[in-house]
Structure 1
Amino acid sequence: MIHAINFAPELIGCGKYTTELAQFLETRGHVIEIVTAPPHYPGWFVRAPYQKGAYVTEAFGSMRVTRCPMTTKAGAPGLWRLIAPLSFAAAAAPMVAWRIFRFRPNVVICVEPTLMSAPAALIAAKLCGARSLLHVQDLEVDAAFEVGHLNGGTIRRVANIFESWFLARFDRVVTISQKMQHALLAKGLSPQKVSVLRNWVDTAAIVPEPRTTNAFRDELGMPSDAFVVLYAGNLGPKQALDMLIAAARRLEGEYDIYCVIAGAGPMRDALQKQSVDLPNVRFLPLQPAERMSELLALADLHVLTQLKGAADLVLPSKLGGMLARGRPIVATADPGTELFEMLQDIALVTPTGDID
């Protein structure tokens, strides 16, 4: 059983990797059951035809998927980043317990975010004698405070105590980077318990290609010979995309350079307002999987920006697609972070916050 707040048909972020992990395990002969939320990422609103207040059971291939209610608000501002996952965890807990006793799994996988699902996953696994595994895609507690969704020293200390207690109860913990592994060890986990499984990319679907005519250039009204700087992914606070808007403002009128921001998320409206007077900035909605390779081929230069302080709490999943495409990359990362160490020899890396 996999208990995760994100799952298909979400196209990016944790949902993409949880879905592909489930599909891979299924090809290895495992029977998979999913308990998840309605699709809501990256905008934090439930997409039609799903409803945020209903339990729904559906098939995803041969997998049984149970979707549980979640109370959310578009963009999930402030405390909604706490309320939304908490509401899902509370609504999903009885469903997890019921499905555990019907399904009787050998292994229960819980995906962070959200760690709020951990109590139900741990209790259910214990009751049916299953092994428990936590897949950490995001150091959720630390990131919430670093980005500013939550604040207060006392609240953070209490949150860290609960986090460490739940982490220690899983049989195994898997995360996506060495720095995140080190952070988990610093929270009291033993090295024998924590492993690294990096996120992946389908190199058969996204391959290096020569620069050719691209349909997106026509859709966006750009010259065929324009130089395109592309960001594609979640438009959230952690991505610090105001830096890209500031850079585009500096380049306005100087060169035939366009900045394209493709995706969705809570910062999209603010970014569009910041750039409303910039003719060299274009926006695209989140693209379906079948157009992702074409979208990445639009770029002459990929850009990867990060908020200072959050760099080692997450590892951007979009990086795999950028590298597979084989185009130049500019990234913001500070020395000592894992992103800096990964990219320093293969990309242009600048300090976080530096638009020069």
Structure 2
Amino acid sequence: MAGPVKDRSVLIVGLNYAPEPVGIGPYTQGLAEALVARGARVRVVCGKPYYPQWRIYPGHAQGGWSHDAENGVQVTRCPHYVPANPTGLKRILHLASFALSALGPAIRAAFDKRDKPDLVIAIAPALLGTVTAGIAARLAGARLWIHVQDFEVEAALATGLMDQGRWSARLARWIEARLLQLGDVVSTISPQMCAKLAAKGVAEARIIEMRNWSDDRFTPDPAGAEAIRAAWNLHGKIVALYSGNIARKQGIEVLVEAARLLRHRGDIAFVICGEGPNRAELERLASGLANVQLHDLQPAEQMGAMLTMADLHLLPQIAGAADLVLPSKLTNMLASGRPVAATTVPGTGLHAEVEGCGVVTPPGDAQALAEAIAALAGDPERRAVLGQAARQRAAERWRKDAIIDRALTFVAGG
């Protein structure tokens, strides 16, 4: 498969990468491997895998940098600080440590006379890594493409990790805007987030939407789904599934509150599979609720079975984070052909994507969410109609090749 990047040398600088199963990592991996498939030579400078557990994975904990070829991509993994409890200052140190650790490999790539990059891609978060990528692009004389998965400064403000009124918040916003304006091209994952880029001073001619795509590895697996139901004692239950990171911006506590309101419904099971800094607190809140099961995040090879096992998917989000990120897990929820119950407000990107193929309730309103889940549980025909609409929307809006080719055409022609 050829295209605008054939025979080009590309350097990607991004904290998260495979084998992380959720979040940004799978999409950076997917982009890198798609570039290779289109004839590019691709190097990735990333961190050691740690997400969503916030612990370095076994096999990667040894110190120093590592260099490997993975599916045609040359991958350099950098050591960095990973806090067990990523509070505000610790999270900044975590991101800064990667930006510094990645600087050496990025500069070496920029001075590689045999294969100097002519395109450098910075994945944000970590926005501080954009500095590293920008230095490499300047030294190599390459174009800089910044791809924003998450507005981390505003997310920190929305979740209380940073105080809105302090000078540090104003400084962080100013730095964010300045860094974003360094990009020759700046992309992000929803129309609403594109509008935020423009509001932060990025020229509209440089902005493009490159949304996350559904993962075609996660094919329906009815046999695997039945095996999971048997192992977890879910036969005869309507399963409402949440699978992913357990952190502040998800507002996942509302799921436990909704489950408490529906504890009299023996036919509905809330299944939460995930890791993250708020896992222990969630377990405490769910203690004693027979209709809630908490499990570890399942491996990627199980995801087809997991998505098939669910009767409906749960996608909570706090109000303040509504247009700071479009949850990447939504793509595979829709592709699974199951309805989505999300918490958001009209006018947001999440609301626009879920409307017509799921139900939407106000953020933090456990009563409304419980009523919506109960209504879906009691109406299999409506679940089927919404699920079919979800699968159709995924096919129309979330196809990987179409998304990447459009972005690459824009980048090459800009």
Q: Does 1:246 align with 2:257?
A: yes
2:40 equivalent among 30, 37, 50: 30
Pair 7,237 (structure 1): closer, same or farther in 2 beyond 3 Å: same
Q: Which moved more, 1:306-315 or 1:49-58?
A: 49-58
RMSD: 1.6
Pair 73,210 (structure 1): closer, same or farther in 2 beyond 3 Å: closer
Pair 212,48 (structure 1): closer, same or farther in 2 beyond 3 Å: closer
CA distance in 1, matches of 2:360, 2:276: 25
CA distance in 2, matches of 1:212, 1:89: 41
Q: Counterpart amino acid of 1:165?
A: R
Matches within 5 A, 1:153-232: 153-203=166-216, 205-207=218-220, 214-222=226-234, 224-232=235-243
Q: Does 1:237 align with 2:243?
A: no
Matching residue of 1:6: 16
Pair 165,78 (structure 1): closer, same or farther in 2 beyond 3 Å: closer
Q: Counterpart amino acid of 1:279?
A: A
CA distance in 2, matches of 1:273, 1:153: 33
- Shift in Å at residue 52 of structure 1? 6.6
CA distance in 2, matches of 1:337, 1:214: 36
Runs of 5+ unmatched residues, structure 1: none
Matching residue of 2:141: 129
Q: Name the SS for the 1:192 alignment partner.
A: helix
Deviations 1:204-225 (A, max 9, x none): 6335x77996111122123x11
Matching residue of 2:158: 146
CA distance in 1, matches of 2:255, 2:91: 25
CA distance in 2, matches of 1:53, 1:157: 36
**8 Å CA contact 1:53, 1:70 repeated in 2:** no
- Shift in Å at residue 78 of structure 1? 3.2
CA distance in 1, matches of 2:224, 2:137: 52
Deviations 1:44-88 (A, max 9, x none): 211111127421112212221111111121242332111101111
CA distance in 2, matches of 1:145, 1:282: 31
Matching residue of 1:351: 362
Q: Which moved more, 1:142-151 or 1:178-187?
A: 142-151
Matching residue of 1:81: 91
Deviations 1:221-266 (A, max 9, x none): 23x1111110011111111111000111111133321100012111
Runs of 5+ unmatched residues, structure 2: 1-10, 368-414
- Shift in Å at residue 116 of structure 1? 0.4
Q: Name the SS for the 2:363 alignment partner.
A: coil
TM-score using structure 2 length? 0.82
Pair 213,289 (structure 1): closer, same or farther in 2 beyond 3 Å: closer
Q: Counterpart amino acid of 1:40?
A: Y
1:267 equivalent among 271, 275, 278: 278
Shift >4 Å, 4+ stretches = 209-213
Q: Does 1:19 align with 2:48?
A: no
CA distance in 2, matches of 1:212, 1:49: 28
Q: Which moved more, 1:253-262 or 1:45-54?
A: 45-54
Q: Counterpart amino acid of 1:338?
A: G
Q: Counterpart amino acid of 1:142?
A: E
- Shift in Å at residue 24 of structure 1? 0.6
1:112 equivalent among 102, 116, 124: 124
- Shift in Å at residue 4 of structure 1? 0.3
Q: Counterpart amino acid of 1:174?
A: S
1:322 equivalent among 333, 344, 360: 333
**8 Å CA contact 2:326, 2:350 repeated in 1:** yes
Matching residue of 1:298: 309
**8 Å CA contact 2:222, 2:305 repeated in 1:** no
CA distance in 1, matches of 2:224, 2:72: 39
Q: Counterpart amino acid of 1:115?
A: L
**8 Å CA contact 1:53, 1:71 repeated in 2:** no
CA distance in 1, matches of 2:289, 2:100: 45
Q: Counterpart amino acid of 1:218?
A: A
Matching residue of 1:100: 110
CA distance in 2, matches of 1:51, 1:212: 32
Q: Which moved more, 1:312-321 or 1:58-67?
A: 58-67
CA distance in 2, matches of 1:205, 1:274: 31
Q: Name the SS for the 1:214 alignment partner.
A: helix
- Shift in Å at residue 203 of structure 1? 4.3
Greater percentage in helix: 2
Q: Name the SS for the 2:150 alignment partner.
A: coil
Matching residue of 2:379: none
Q: Name the SS for the 2:122 alignment partner.
A: strand
**8 Å CA contact 1:3, 1:109 repeated in 2:** yes
Matches within 5 A, 1:58-73: 58-73=68-83
